[in-house]
Structure 1
């Protein structure tokens, strides 16, 4: 709308002549107020002196002639009341923007004519369907009605103007109709039937609730609508444990960009989801893997394989991590029995690190190591036919179990289950592949071969840290082994000290009779312990039964195996007693193979054994299995170089590989590179 119009602009309008000359003559006759337009010779006439018919035509032509850009409206909305407008949904914001366009149109027209006249002009144009296409489209949204009547009224436009001037743009938004979040009276009784750890269905819970309901009973559809209004966390309360509920709750991501390698080690045990042949017994079992990972680079540094999560496995994995990576600052673990014990904590303290335990039922805090279980060990188990995970086909798994047991009974071997050596080879392959594979938790780099951006691998992240000047703090191997030996405080009596049901002797202890000392032990070798004073001064190595002449020591690992076997036999006997209802006892065999021989055959066998026995013993066998295997390796090296062996050495060297102990030690040394190097 303008206040002045030229004769050219007025020609042909309602109430006006069709030519400019006729308009000028009409103006002269009626004495219209006029002025010369700036920069032109044309005469323009005031809007107020024009006939009412002409004024209405000019008003109708100006309404919605130029649609204000939506961007400007949105910018003004954000600038004036951004906080309040941000709470509106899309429908409220759309209606508000449409109504704002009509308010702006009234304000623009009011610069030339009165507000009342502008409102009446818009109402008249809307009724006659003469609004511009832009305003006609906004009219449908501005009314926000479900009826077919989408016209404007004087009262509606005045109400919009009043709301806008009082509350701003947000005053034009319609009230939001939210959900009825009221809790019905029957909700408590129904949720008591529904929110149980057994996770009953809605139908089952409703049937139980209906049988107990005394008052007016809602329909199952009302129950379903009520449950849909609840948040997942509120709905699943009682159906899930607090630990499982955390899968539905918000969480905090822990950034590791500011960490350096070896700042934080995290570890956890995982029961392998496939069966492997036990190297010690030859029977199927599920190994327990203990993995140590560097948090900053996601690199796997330590690994230990055992039969169950234990202190021995944790310390072995930590020793492996320190040997490969270096000393750590923080050891972040859970509260499992293998980690939360004085032996591991003492070793961590001696290494100068800090041991931190995660909160109970908070496995999400250790998501890095938990994800490693899925990425490496679960995927590795799925590559084997002996996989027994939850998603294994039931019939296929039963068939593998039946056939493998049958083959083991008949032949003593099976190809359906991997041997321990094959399993360890697979473990090393999976770890190397994981450390060389791009990890999405690490920063991106430009691939030197393809030129594309990709995430770094753990090994690349490790080397990148070294390139920036970081270097691992390495320790000599002997020092690492010494630090990894757990220590306990024990009293000494007459040069002896007792530990793990064994007695160790050291002559230097004679002066400390009745006093307490510190005893350090090796989890792999029980033939000796290292004795220190309470102040830490090393006194020497106390030998197992050092003051005795005839005893065969057993390493701590073998003692753990025997203890585990005894527990398994006891549980098996309890199960048999439960099934049969009768007392079950273990009775030693009363007959040996030799009992089936005749007297002549037995005499011949004894003579054959006498002939095989050496006349003299020209060397002394070690007292533990590890030392015996090392002796055999030394004799094997001599035979390879052509050196001669004594009769006793040659006889024992040829006979020892036929024993089960040789095979077990061979698998153990082949699986542990550090032991193989020492051998």
Structure 2
């Protein structure tokens, strides 16, 4: 705000003559204080000696002429200057509160600037007068409405309002100019506990159903359903869903920590879990459809699948078999991270891990999110593999298509003992090997990025590339000899000898050297896949030799431990089925004879050869790239067939597959499933 003005600048203003000559004459006549302007011959006069109407005109012109960035700094005020505390408080304001605060601060700054020339009262009166006549600058005029923070039509300035803003600002800083906002009433009403008892249940009743039950029990004044809804909206999702979800489901609403694996090396941590396959496979022992239980072992650092095992249910045998596979393929591990399932949390697996020199760590109950890596692998490998089969029975399977496949497959099993819609165990194992190899070769978003040597683009490493990269940096896996691995995976128990025999797992094992140890305790080691023998040691660990099953008998064929487990499981299932039939009919039900099918003739030796058969099929698949699901393969065959009919020449691999595919059961099942129904034709 200027304090001196020349005669030329004053000429024509209210209370002043129209020419600068007459202004000078008026100044001489009234004895105005004057001084020569620096660098000029012009005489300038003090603002204080000018007539009141001239001062008002100069004040109004000055208010409208100055841009916001040209506002002078206010007089130093330790309270008004924003401190670190003020800035932190301002950061907690909402956008609307901050807008009102800055609008009010603009008027405070303008009053302070004008107060350097005139009194504060005069500055306030000038701003109020300009606001009433609508002569404020566009910048200040826009902030009048925002600064008042009212919903009424009267949003002008008043002397009292401006003085209150000045007082608040000088006492408490700029944050005092922010208006208070009404906060949510977070008080818990008296009826809340009674209503939540009706609402927070695992059955997840709706608000209307819970309110209806609550209203029937409510004593005293009853809230409306709208009050109930407003109360629920104030609760956090976690507080609202407590009781309606299990602790495991509630974790989906809670904050979590992301685990980084960048500092891990291969074989530092193995993680494993079981998964019930979402498609039916023909049981190699019975020829009947069943859903296999898969156990997968993954190296956490590289995400590489190292070990698998296929069984009928999660069990110690399956876990040890998968862990044996992982140790043989990858090497010794430091930590074995698993859940608390019965197949993992047992002394047998713990003993094997201890003997390997590793540490077994269990995840907390209801905390499957902590093992998201293995859960994600289940979706990528097993769920996607199941969706490629016609026998898929997952939740997102089309209901009518699933029913049709189920009926047709059961009809074929009854009539012929086999079906073309459900893969055999050998076909299933071939698909398993293919899916695992595909997973290990596919880029994984949890691994570092590298530049693709073929495309030149950045992409994530695949598990195999991450493993090879660690080898290239000098890391070497700790490999165990085959004999040592076999010995380590033989669990040990203590048993008593009786006349050279040892009773174990429903069998009797004999060794002539045990005659001298009659009645004494020894340690025996057994193989989960070979029940023909056990290894006998003293309690001090000295190996005595091998005891053969019924070694003192003849003409007896032992059953492996896995076969015994299968039989025990089948007997339990039969007993439960008979109990259910007796409950339904009220009559005694007896099992006269077991049913069989021609396809139930696969021996245990054929199961052991399934992996070799799978490798041969993988080699065949790699020579000619085929689609991943049966429908797409059938569509490809029809396309190739159409090309042949038109006289087009097929490549060697295309011709070979085109001629071989119709002989497969999949081709016949796809043809029966789709071409028999005109509404579901598969078009080439």
Q: Same fold (TM over 0.5)?
A: yes
Aligned residue for 1:63, secondary structure, equals helix
Correspondent of 1:338 among 335, 343, 348: 343
Distance 2:453 2:124 in 1: 70
Match of 2:86 among 71, 81, 88: 81
For the residues of structure 2 that align with 1:416 and 1:334, how far apart are their CA atoms? Answer: 35
State the alpha-carbon separation in 1 of the partners of residues 380 and 90 from structure 2: 45
Equivalences for residues 404-443 of structure 1 within 5 A: 404-443=409-448
Query: Is the aligned partner of 1:278 residue 2:283?
Result: yes
In structure 2, the partner of 1:267 is: 272
Partner of 1:669: 609
Aligned to 2:5: 5
Q: Deviations over 1:375-414 (max 9, x none)?
A: 2222222222212122222222222211110111112222
Give the gaps of 5 or more residues in structure 1.
593-657
Match of 2:395 among 361, 380, 390: 390
Distance 1:660 1:282, change over 3 A: closer
Please report how far the alpha carbon of residue 284 of structure 1 lies from its aligned counterpart in structure 2 after TM superposition.
Answer: 0.5
Q: Report the CA distance shift for 1:101/1:568 in structure 2 as closer, same or farther (over 3 A).
A: same
Alignment CA distance shift 1:24-1:509 (3 Å): farther
Q: Residue 54 of structure 2 corresponds to which residue in structure 1?
A: 54
Does the CA contact (< 8 Å) of 2:335 and 2:359 recur in 1?
A: yes
Deviation, structure 1 residue 422: 1.7
| 3-state secondary structure, aligned to 1:559 | helix
Q: Report the CA distance shift for 1:119/1:305 in structure 2 as closer, same or farther (over 3 A).
A: same
Change (3 A) 1:46 1:69: closer
- How much does 1:259 deviate? 1.4
Distance 1:436 1:588, change over 3 A: closer
Spell out the pairing of 1:435-584 with structure 2 (5 A cutoff): 435-584=440-589
**Does the alignment pair 1:92 with 2:129?**
no
Q: What corresponds to 1:324 in structure 2? A: 329
Return the offset for 1:199.
1.1
**Structure 1 residues 20 and 518: CA distance shift in structure 2, 3 A:** farther
For residues 295 and 30 of structure 2, the distance between their equivalents in structure 1, rounded to whole angstroms, comes to: 105
Aligned position for 2:146: 141
Q: Note the alpha carbon deviations across 1:279-302, whole angstroms, 9 max, x for none.
A: 111110000011111112222111
**In 2, Cα distance between the equivalents of 1:30 and 1:659?**
127
Say whether residues 1:251 and 2:256 are aligned partners: yes
Q: In angstroms, what is the RMSD of aligned CA positions?
A: 2.6
CA distance in 2, matches of 1:38, 1:375: 84
Q: Helix, strand or coil: the match of 2:68?
A: coil
Q: Specify the SS of the correspondent of 2:562.
A: helix
CA distance in 2: counterparts of 1:276 and 1:46, whole angstroms: 103
Structure 1 residue 569: Cα displacement: 0.9
* Residue 68 of structure 2: aligned partner: 67
2:672 aligned residue: none
Pairwise CA distance, 1:459: 2.1
Shift of 1:60: 1.5
Report what 1:231 is aligned to.
Answer: 236
| Distance in 2 (alpha carbons) for counterparts of 1:152 and 1:180 | 33
Equivalent in the alignment of 2:130 = 125
Match status 1:293 vs 2:298: yes
Distance in 2, Cα, partners of 1:659 & 1:192: 56
Q: Which residue does 1:158 correspond to in 2?
A: 163
Aligned-partner Cα distance in 1 for 2:269–2:475: 15
Distance of 1:53 and 1:102 partners within structure 2: 23
Which string of whole-angstrom CA distances, capped at 9 and with x for unpartnered residues, describes residues 413-450 of structure 1?
22221111221122122222222222222223333344
Confirm or deny that 1:178 pairs with 2:179.
no
| Aligned 8 A contact 1:80 1:168 in 2 | no
Alignment deviations for residues 457-513 of structure 1 (CA, whole Å, 9 cap, x no partner):
222222222233222211222222221221222222333322211122233334433
Q: How far apart are the structure 2 equivalents of 1:213 and 1:517?
A: 70
Deviation at 1:143, TM superposition (A): 0.9
Residue 109 and residue 455 in structure 1: after superposition, are their counterparts in 2 closer, same or farther (change >3 A)?
farther
Match of 1:654 in 2: none
Return the offset for 1:360: 1.4
Native 8 Å contact 1:4 1:47 kept in 2: yes
Structure 1 residues 99-148: Cα deviation after superposition (integer angstroms, max 9, x where no partner): 12222222222222222211111111111111111112222211111111
Change (3 A) 1:358 1:80: closer
Counterpart of 1:28 in structure 2 is 28
Instruction: Say yes or no: does 1:359 pair with 2:364.
Output: yes
In structure 2, distance between residues paired with 1:63 and 1:513: 114
Aligned equivalents of 2:157, 2:147: Cα separation in 1:
9
1:401 aligns with 2:341: no
Q: Residues 582 and 662 (structure 1 numbering): CA distance in 2 closer, same or farther, change over 3 Å?
A: closer
Shift of 1:663: 5.1
The correspondence for 1:313, drawn from 297, 315, 318, is 318
In 2, distance between residues paired with 1:170 and 1:15?
42
Separation in 1, partners of 2:56, 2:328: 93
Q: Does 1:215 align with 2:215?
A: no
Cα distance in 1, alignment partners of residues 266 and 520 from structure 2: 43
Are positions 1:115 and 2:115 aligned together?
Answer: no
Q: Please give the secondary structure, in 1, of the residue aligned with 2:408.
A: helix
Corresponding residue SS for 1:509: helix
Distance (whole Å) between structure 1 residues aligned to residue 407 and residue 82 of structure 2: 73
Query: Is the contact between residue 498 and residue 518 of structure 2 (CA under 8 Å) also seen in structure 1?
Result: yes
Q: Give the TM-score of the pair, scaled to structure 2.
A: 0.84
Unaligned runs of 5+ in 2: 75-80, 617-684
Q: Is the 8 A contact 2:426 2:613 kept in 1?
A: no
Q: Secondary structure at the match of 2:577?
A: helix
